[in-house]
């Protein structure tokens, strides 16, 4: 499997990067949007979940676990239709006794039509679909948020890259003001009907943030909706060898991190 590096410069625009990545990881066949995936698997998170790893992301996070294969380097992978992804994830879930599925590895929202078609398949499947997203595309597109919240099977997990603009820049190297667009994603989803904590919540990478900035973020989340600050999924760096390699390249030093063999059960 070959990999294709997509280089960025500090202060890049992640929405412009979205367009570049979209051209490289999606295609249309008979008016169906296909997306590149590099694997399908059962994973331990959420107590067990069927996972499809997509190729391509619009951020370049310095602690990304999939940087060599999906988010930064973009493994070649293969194109799949929404129906074929549905069948693969459903089969993994049913054969393993799981009740949840997700897309991971890259940024799922880059392929809008593919994602919405996939959700159509899962809507009456009895399986819960966890959308793990950095929220940038949703924050920029209220219509996208409106389409997403119509799915009863869907829970949206918006992964905030730090607690502030400065944290966001340090982690992603993107323009710091795009941190606000992550919060706008939460605002958009709630505005069009997503129930906080039940159907949408924030995950926050805390390994590079000061406590005072975390408290400020909680206040900002409460201003969007009082419940948002009460159901934060706290994230910390996991020191897989390839993640350590990337941290060293980016000269990032997490204040809190965990070795793979010592991850607290509360974080899994």
The token pair at 261 is 């063999």
Give the DSSP letter of residue 38: E
Give CB contacts under 8 A, 24+ apart, made by 110-113: 110/18, 110/21, 110/22, 110/25, 110/26, 110/54, 110/56, 110/57, 110/58, 110/137, 111/22, 111/25, 111/26, 111/33, 111/35, 111/54, 112/33, 112/137, 112/144, 113/32, 113/33
* Rounded Cα–Cα distance for residues 37 and 34 (Å): 10
pTM of the full structure: 0.95
Q: Taking the mean position of all CA atoms in its chain, how far away is CA 1?
A: 23
- Domains of the chain in start order, with CATH, are 14-262 (3.20.20.70)
Report pLDDT for 9: 85
Q: What angle do CA 259, 234, 70 make, to 5 degrees?
A: 65
The residue ranges of the chain whose pLDDT is under 70 are 1-7
Do 206 and 22 form a contact (C-beta atoms < 8 A)? no
Strand, coil or helix: 240: coil
pLDDT of residue 68: 82
Q: What is the biggest distance separating any 2 CA atoms in the chain, rounded to whole angstroms?
A: 52
pLDDT at 1: 43
Which two three-digit tokens encode residue 246? 């990337």
The confidence score (pLDDT) of residue 267 equals: 78
The pLDDT, as a whole number, for residue 138 is 98
Element (H, E) at 34: strand 32-43
């Amino acid at each position: 499997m070959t990999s294709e590096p997509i280089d960025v410069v500090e202060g890049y625009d992640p929405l412009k990067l979205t367009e570049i990545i979209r051209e490289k990881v999606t295609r249309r066949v008979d008016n169906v949007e296909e997306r590149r995936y590099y694997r399908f698997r059962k994973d331990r998170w959420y107590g067990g979940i069927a996972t499809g790893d997509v190729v391509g992301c619009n951020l370049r996070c310095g602690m990304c676990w999939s940087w060599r294969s999906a988010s930064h380097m973009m493994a070649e992978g293969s194109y799949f239709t929404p129906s074929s992804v549905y069948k693969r994830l459903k089969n993994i879930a049913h054969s393993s006794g799981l009740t949840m599925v997700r897309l991971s590895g890259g940024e799922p929202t880059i392929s809008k039509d593919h994602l919405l078609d996939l959700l159509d398949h899962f809507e009456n499947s009895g399986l819960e679909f966890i959308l793990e997203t950095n929220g940038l595309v949703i924050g920029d597109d209220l219509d996208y948020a409106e389409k997403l919240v119509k799915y009863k099977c869907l829970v949206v997990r918006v992964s905030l890259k730090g607690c502030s603009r400065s944290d966001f820049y340090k982690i992603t190297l993107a323009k710091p003001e795009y941190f606000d667009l992550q919060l706008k994603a939460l605002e958009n989803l709630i505005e069009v009907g997503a129930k906080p904590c039940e159907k949408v919540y924030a995950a926050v990478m805390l390994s590079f943030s000061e406590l005072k900035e975390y408290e400020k973020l909680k206040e900002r989340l409460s201003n969007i909706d009082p419940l948002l600050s009460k159901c934060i999924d706290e994230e910390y760096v996991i020191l897989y060898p390839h993640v350590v390699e990337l941290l060293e390249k980016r000269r990032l030093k997490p204040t809190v991190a965990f070795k793979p063999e010592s991850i607290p059960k509360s974080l899994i």
